[in-house]
Structure 1
Amino acid sequence: MRIEQQPAFVLHARAYRETSLLLECLTRDHGRVGLIARGVRRERTRTPRALLQPLIPVRVGWNGRGELATLTQVEAAASGFDLDGDALLCALYLNELVLRITPRQDPHPQLFADYAETLARLAYGEAQAWTLRRFERDLLAHLGYALVLDVDGDAGAPLDPERDYAYRHEHGPAPWRDARDGVRLRGAALLALARDEMPAAEHLSSLRRLMRAVIATHIDGELRSWSMLA
């Protein structure tokens, strides 16, 4: 199978054998793909190695089937995102999250668009915590793990913004009873996330704990970037 001019971002790159790189890329129409960039670590190479790093919109081509294909083309699609400090840590978290939670060759064009939009929001200086929660919510939905955020999972009634809830995986919000229920969330926080409205500042930490708890059920272990963002 030969693919050309596919919009993509490099999520991760590492040395492969003596002269090559092993790339994990998020592509628009083919999902996450593994590519071998052969010979790019040689002193003289026609492939622009500077483009084979995260946060740069590129167009790539490859040839082959199976888990690993061979990179045949890479060119810049736009300028890279200028991120530093905490915004850069947030972007590295996005990359690790997508790499760990998405299967290879499972296309989600809207996920690709959301990823690019999230990088742009971080570059524009939008609120980082809220930007990450929005992406996490939508990522889970794209993968078939959408959260129930606006109704009581037990009664089916709309959430009370002034009431405290726990979130039960694969069930939804339920009235919070005690510490054994896990993360304690105000109904207003869940409703804000459902409506894509930035919640009050005091609710952002509980939403972060919720999303980490949910994500942890879909990956093996924890993400290293969680400790960096703490």
Structure 2
Amino acid sequence: MRYTAQPAFVLHARPWRETSLLVEVLSFDHGRIGLVARGVQGPKRQPLRAALQPLQWIRFDAVQTGELARLTAAEAVDVAPRLAGEAMLAGFYLNELTLRLAPRQDPVPELFEAYAQARARLAADEPLGWTLRRYERDLLEALGFGFDWSNDGEGTPIDPAARYRLDPEYGPRRVLSDRGHGDRSSAATGRALLSLASDQHPEADDLPGLRRAMRGLLSHYLGPRGLKSWEMLAELGRVAPRAKADQAGGGD
């Protein structure tokens, strides 16, 4: 198969052998594709290396003869978002989640569009948590794993005052009591689910529960091996309080 001027977003790139890169992209017409970019070292190849950085939107030519396609040309369509700090970590999460769940060579144009929107929101410095929750919702929908966020698994309208955990087979499942404290700690408010359904920013107090509930749902599809970005976020959460304590004159 030959790819010509195929639009794609770069998800991941790593060195291979002495002068090449192994690159994963999310393309519009063919889904996720693995590419071998040969001979990208040297000053004359700098524009090509720059075009193969994560989050970059490109057009590429390649020839598919096996599991990986041989890249023959690539050019940047725009300037990739300049992210730093937590926004950079959010971009890493966006790419890692897509890389893990998007199937190889299975066209999912809805996922391509969802990724493009999330990337634009990161570039526009929109709220990170809400940007990621919307992308998680849209990714699951594009891959056929989504459900109605305004009703539970039995078709009963979501109660904004109740709490729900997200069952991958059933959909939102109401948590009825405090007996399963673990269930409630990983549950989202009905108000947060209705915000997802209407694409309206949730109340700030609803976002942590929504994040935990979505993580539980995604873990079902990711399997026992989680995401490196989750580990990095956990470490960031441990470091931040220590940093604040040090600034206040505390410490370990």
TM range (shorter): over 0.9
Alpha-carbon separation, structure 2, partners of 1:197 and 1:216: 25
SS of alignment partner, residue 59 of structure 1: strand
Change (3 A) 1:126 1:180: closer
SS of alignment partner, residue 211 of structure 2: helix
Aligned 8 A contact 1:90 1:229 in 2: no
| Partner residue, 1:179 | 181
The alpha carbon displacement at 1:50 in A equals 1.8
SS of alignment partner, residue 22 of structure 1: strand
| Partner residue, 2:218 | 215
SS of alignment partner, residue 145 of structure 1: coil
The alpha carbon displacement at 1:180 in A equals 5.2
| Partner residue, 1:226 | 230
The alpha carbon displacement at 1:119 in A equals 1.2
Aligned 8 A contact 2:167 2:217 in 1: no
The alpha carbon displacement at 1:39 in A equals 1.4
The one-letter code matched in structure 2 to 1:202 is: D
SS of alignment partner, residue 35 of structure 1: strand
| CA distances 1:66-119 after superposition (whole Å, capped 9, x unpaired) | 320100110121122121111111011101000111111111112112212211
Relative to the length of structure 1, the TM-score reads 0.93
| Partner residue, 2:107 | 107
SS of alignment partner, residue 221 of structure 2: coil
Aligned 8 A contact 2:165 2:213 in 1: no
Alpha-carbon separation, structure 2, partners of 1:46 and 1:227: 32
Q: Flag structure 2 segments of 5+ consecutive residues without an equivalent.
A: 235-252
Aligned alpha-carbon RMSD (Å): 1.8
Alpha-carbon separation, structure 2, partners of 1:10 and 1:152: 36
Q: Number of paired residues?
A: 229
SS of alignment partner, residue 29 of structure 2: coil
The alpha carbon displacement at 1:125 in A equals 1.2
The one-letter code matched in structure 2 to 1:48 is: L
Kindly report which structure 2 residues correspond to 1:109-188, keeping only aligned pairs within 5 A, or say none: 109-154=109-154, 156-176=155-175, 177=177, 178-179=180-181, 181=183, 183-188=186-191
Change (3 A) 1:44 1:123: closer
Alpha-carbon separation, structure 2, partners of 1:38 and 1:100: 24
Q: Flag structure 1 segments of 5+ consecutive residues without an equivalent.
A: none
Runs (4+) off by over 6 Å: none
Change (3 A) 1:113 1:163: same
- Please say if 1:22 is aligned against 2:22: yes
| CA distances 1:171-211 after superposition (whole Å, capped 9, x unpaired) | 02222132253622221111111111111111101111111
The alpha carbon displacement at 1:46 in A equals 8.5
Change (3 A) 1:180 1:80: closer
The one-letter code matched in structure 2 to 1:174 is: R
Change (3 A) 1:43 1:82: closer
Identity %: 50
Change (3 A) 1:186 1:35: same
- Please say if 1:65 is aligned against 2:65: yes
The one-letter code matched in structure 2 to 1:50 is: A
Q: Which has the higher helix share?
A: 2
SS of alignment partner, residue 34 of structure 1: strand
Change (3 A) 1:4 1:46: farther
Alpha-carbon separation, structure 1, partners of 2:46 and 2:85: 33
